[in-house]
Structures are given as C-alpha cells and as structure tokens.
Amino acid sequence: MRLLLTILITLSVLISVADAHYGAKYEPPDGRIYHGLGWHNASQIAYCEMFPDSLQTLLHQSMQALPGYMRRGGMTVAGLLQSFNPDHFDSETQYPELSVHFSLENDPMDNEFADSDQYDSYIDTLAIAFREYGRPVFLRIGLEMNGGWNGYTPWVFPRAFRKLVEGLRENGVDNFATVWCYEPDALNDFADSTRVGWKWYPGDDVVDWFGLDPFDADHFDPDEPDSVEQRGRMVISKKGKTEHFLRFARERGKPVYLNELTARHVWITPHDEDVDSTHGEVDWNYWFAPFFEFLDNHPNIKAYNYINLDWTQINQWAHWGDARLQINEYIRDHWVEALSDERYIHSGYDIAQHVSAPNEVKAIPDEFDMTVYPNPFNSSFKVNYNLTHRTAVALKLYSLTGAEVWSNPETVQNAGQYQVSVDGSGLASGIYFVGMEGLGSSVVRKVVLVK
C-alpha cells in the first residue's frame, strides 16, 4: 500500500507539472522562457536598442549551410565562430542558436550527407568551432524539417540529423543542445512512422528540444479552430497542426523553442502614420496579444527568437510585410512591457546552471541506487538496483493512471547487486513508473515506452 501511495503522489506531482519541465539540456527553470532574437544583424541591433540593459536578449540566431556555397569556401571554423560571437553581442552574457540546413549552392543535400562520406569533414568543422567557442550552443538542424520549401527527403532526413549529432559526439563535443523544428504551413506528417522507422523524427536520443516556427496569427491564435471545412470535409487547420506538434513534444518529453517568430502579414504601421495608435492597437490585438496568450496556454514553450525584419526589403518574402517592432510606439512599448515580466530570462543568465534529471523522480531519498536502462525503451528494459542488507523487495510497473501493469513477486534477497528484466512489448507507447519497495522505504522511476 505504501508503494502504491508513493506512486499516486508522484503521479499527481508529475501531472501537475507535466507541461512545465522535462529536464532537457539547457532547459530553463520551471515557468521561465528564454528571450531570444532571430537572424539578420541590422535588425538584431535595432531590436536590442528598444530594451534597457537589464532586458537584453539571452539568445541570438545565425544561419549556416552545410556544406554551403563552395565558391565562398563553404562552412568554415572562422565563419562559425564569428556567427557565435558577432560584434553586437556579448560573448560573456549571451548565447548563440545556430540553425544549420543541409544545402549545397541552395540545393538540398540531406541524401548526400546521410548516405556518403563526401561531406563528413564538415562534422569536424562544426566540432572544432564548438570546442573553440566552449560555451553552450543551441543547434537547430535542418531548419523546418518537412517543409516542402527545404526539399528534404522523408526517412532520409532523420538519418542525416542523427549522423550529424552522433558525429559531433564522437568528436567529444557536448556543449550543444539539438533542436528538431516544424512550421505549421508544412504537412501534418511530422509524427508519422512505419516499420522502417520515423518519417521525419530522428529519435529521442539525438533530439533535446522541439522547435516550432509560428508566423501567422492563425498558426497560434487560441481563438482559431483546430479543424476547418474544406470541400465538404473537416481537415486540420494550421493552428491545429501547431497543437498537434506541441502534443507530440509533450509525448516525447521535450521542451519547445520557437526558433523563428515574426509578425508575418501584419504590416506594422510606422509612428508617423499612426498618430493616435489606432493601427498599433489593432495589430496588437490581432497578432501580439494572442501570441502571449498562446505562451500562457503552453508552458512547455521555453524559448523564442523574434525576427525583427522589414520583409518588404527581401524580394522573396516582400509580401510578408514589415514586422519591425520599433517602428510603432504602441507595439514597441507594449512588447517591452510584456518582456519585463519575471518569467522571461534575459542576458547574463548561465543557461548551463540549471541541471535536472529528466528520467528520474525520487519520492524519497534513494536507498536502492536503482536505475533503468534503456530509457526511453522500445519493448523491454532492465532495472538495476543495489541492496545494502537482506530484505523483502517488491518491484512493480504502473501506467500513468496508476494501474499496475506488471509486477515481480515479492522476494527476500540478500545484500548485493541485482538486475531484473521488464517486458513491456504488450503495452502501449507512453509514460510508465517503476516502483520498488523494501529496506523500509520505496522509490519511483519514470520510464517512457516508444514503439
């Protein structure tokens, strides 16, 4: 009974914070959000000028292609180091988010990277730059993975993603957290899988964060429907895709980073054309207020980068409009006020200081030295534990609802090291809890079944 009570207490605590914290690499404390800034140097400078020193951005984004434009020398260590620490940012108080896309002279090449060694030297290039920089980096691989505009290949892209991550790790590099990113204009197939594997997802062991690029208000506005009628049938809406992706992130136990965020199609009105703030207030209520409500509704969103660009100056995206916040006083002042809330984390914060264990939940001090491996698991896992003296031991597996789904009969065991195999092949994918009772106490571990 004590073990079941411990499980239920642990469940109630976990359910209450399930959307709040996952223990991912470089994840901020519960309820906090990293304040970041998207790409383009001039727009970054203008954005930062809106804020006092105490509210400067913690993260800044740069873009690189792997292998890149060969006529320019391709990706280089010097170029990467410059993007990590541009002149207008402080390397002591701010951190980079590096977005890398598999591209050669603007052509997608995830196939070539995944299936040949032709471009493997660029893994070494990245590894050298990471080691020389030495500070934490967020690494978004592939931009928006299944966006048709990037041209990646299903079932191949995950292998390219994995190859890059494993290659960096084999080089002894560990000062980066990976981000796997989606944009709601793309197809709703990011969670698809078959017997040969995931269509787009590289795997829990190489993905630290999920990324999401919401641009239009209908990507996130809480008042938008999750499904719409098209040609006499109901289909998922763009906002519905966003919600689906965020649910997938929760299922995988990953925090979410809004890597590219901009007020697209808002066409912010300049000060001198908005003397009574009428346009600014309308735009705020249309895009910005719903955005902050969206953040309130989704505490698993832990970071964002705002791209502060006048898109009309870039031919390819001229129809997106002007998204610069500083050009309208009403929007600028309300944005700065919103970012002054204590939930947002600004420059000067050490993103490596907050450490937690994602797969361990201790109801009481651990007297068993109990571990589970692998975690997540596919069909079975092993429980390893140590007994300091002879005692009766009970080992059980519970579902998220607290139902017992597996048990090892209580036995009296001598002091020593033990290993028990747990067969979960007949269970559905999801979160489970291993509970052990003995030595006058009990302990709980969270495990995740992935099929």
The percent of residues above 70 in pLDDT, for the chain, comes to: 91
pLDDT higher at 185 or 13: 185
**Which residue, of 292, 320, 345, is where some domain finishes?**
345
Enter the tokens of residue 388: 């300091």
Is pLDDT of 344 > 80? Answer: yes
Has residue 350 been placed in a domain? no
Residues in the chain: 451
Q: What is the mean pLDDT of the chain?
A: 89
To which residue do tokens 């020398």 refer? 73
Has residue 353 been placed in a domain? no
**Segment 6-29 mean pLDDT:** 63
Q: How far apart (Å, rounded) are the C-alpha atoms in residues 158 and 13? A: 34
Cβ(58)–Cβ(347) under 8 Å?
Answer: yes
Amino acid at site 38? G
Is pLDDT of 14 > 60? Answer: no
pLDDT at 410: 79
- Same-domain status, 147 and 235: yes
> What CATH number corresponds to the domain at position 389?
2.60.40.2550
**Which residue, of 345, 373, 398, is where some domain finishes?**
345
pLDDT band at residue 18 using 50, 70 and 90 as cut-offs = very low
pLDDT digits (tens, 9 = 90+) for 216-269: 999 999 999 999 988 889 999 999 999 999 999 999 999 999 999 999 999 999
Q: How far apart (Å, rounded) are the C-alpha atoms in residues 185 and 236? A: 11
pLDDT at 379: 85
pTM value?
Answer: 0.76
- Same-domain status, 257 and 208: yes
Q: Which parts of 40-189 are beta strand (E)?
A: 59-68, 95-104, 107-108, 137-144, 176-182
pLDDT at 363: 36
Q: Which of 239, 343, 346, 227 is nearest to 296 (CA)?
A: 343
pLDDT higher at 418 or 110: 110
Beta bridge partners of residue 406, listed in sequence order: 397
Has residue 205 been placed in a domain? yes
To which residue do tokens 């992130």 refer? 249
Has residue 52 been placed in a domain? yes
- Same-domain status, 132 and 74: yes
Cβ(382)–Cβ(397) under 8 Å?
Answer: no
pLDDT digits (tens, 9 = 90+) for 27-36: 998 889 999 9
Q: How far apart (Å, rounded) are the C-alpha atoms in residues 198 and 154? A: 9
- Same-domain status, 392 and 313: no
Phi then psi dihedrals of residue 114, to 5 deg:
-70, -35
- CA triplet 259, 27, 436: central angle to 5 degrees? 135
- Same-domain status, 266 and 366: no
pLDDT digits (tens, 9 = 90+) for 287-332: 999 999 999 999 999 999 999 999 999 999 999 999 999 999 999 9
Q: Which of 67, 90, 70, 71 is nearest to 80 (CA)?
A: 67
Residue 218 belongs to domain spanning? 22-345
- Same-domain status, 239 and 259: yes
Enter the tokens of residue 447: 């495990």
Is pLDDT of 132 > 80? Answer: yes
Given the DSSP bridges, would you call strands 107-108 and 137-144 parallel, antiparallel or unpaired? unpaired
pLDDT band at residue 163 using 50, 70 and 90 as cut-offs = very high
- Same-domain status, 339 and 399: no
- Same-domain status, 85 and 150: yes
Q: Which of 308, 223, 286 is nearest to 51 (CA)?
A: 308
Phi then psi dihedrals of residue 402, to 5 deg:
95, 5
Has residue 210 been placed in a domain? yes
Is pLDDT of 353 > 90? Answer: no
Amino acid at site 169? R
Is pLDDT of 368 > 90? Answer: no
pLDDT at 439: 60
- Same-domain status, 314 and 381: no
pLDDT at 440: 58
Q: With H, G, I as helix, E, B as strand and everything else as coil, classify residue 69.
A: coil
**Which residue, of 323, 345, 367, is where some domain finishes?**
345
Is pLDDT of 362 > 50? Answer: no
Is pLDDT of 48 > 90? Answer: yes
pLDDT at 15: 42
pLDDT higher at 451 or 178: 178
Give DSSP secondary structure letters for 379-413: SEEEEEEEESS-EEEEEEEEETTS-EEEEEEEEEE
Task: Quote the number of domains for the chain.
Answer: 2
pLDDT band at residue 90 using 50, 70 and 90 as cut-offs = very high
Q: How far apart (Å, rounded) are the C-alpha atoms in residues 306 and 24? A: 22
- Same-domain status, 338 and 383: no
Has residue 352 been placed in a domain? no
pLDDT band at residue 355 using 50, 70 and 90 as cut-offs = very low
Q: Determine whether 435 is exposed, middle or buried from the number of CB atoms within 10 Å of its CB (0-12, 13-18, 19+).
A: buried
pLDDT digits (tens, 9 = 90+) for 398-425: 887 677 899 888 788 887 888 899 998 8
pLDDT band at residue 4 using 50, 70 and 90 as cut-offs = low
Q: With H, G, I as helix, E, B as strand and everything else as coil, classify residue 51.
A: coil
pLDDT at 302: 97
- Same-domain status, 66 and 134: yes
> What CATH number corresponds to the domain at position 235?
3.20.20.80
Q: How far apart (Å, rounded) are the C-alpha atoms in residues 32 and 303? A: 8
Has residue 354 been placed in a domain? no
Is pLDDT of 359 > 50? Answer: no
pLDDT at 441: 64
- Same-domain status, 246 and 382: no
Write 338-341 long-range contacts (CB < 8 A, 24+).
338/288, 338/292, 339/35, 339/51, 339/55, 340/55
Cβ(99)–Cβ(140) under 8 Å?
Answer: yes
Has residue 214 been placed in a domain? yes
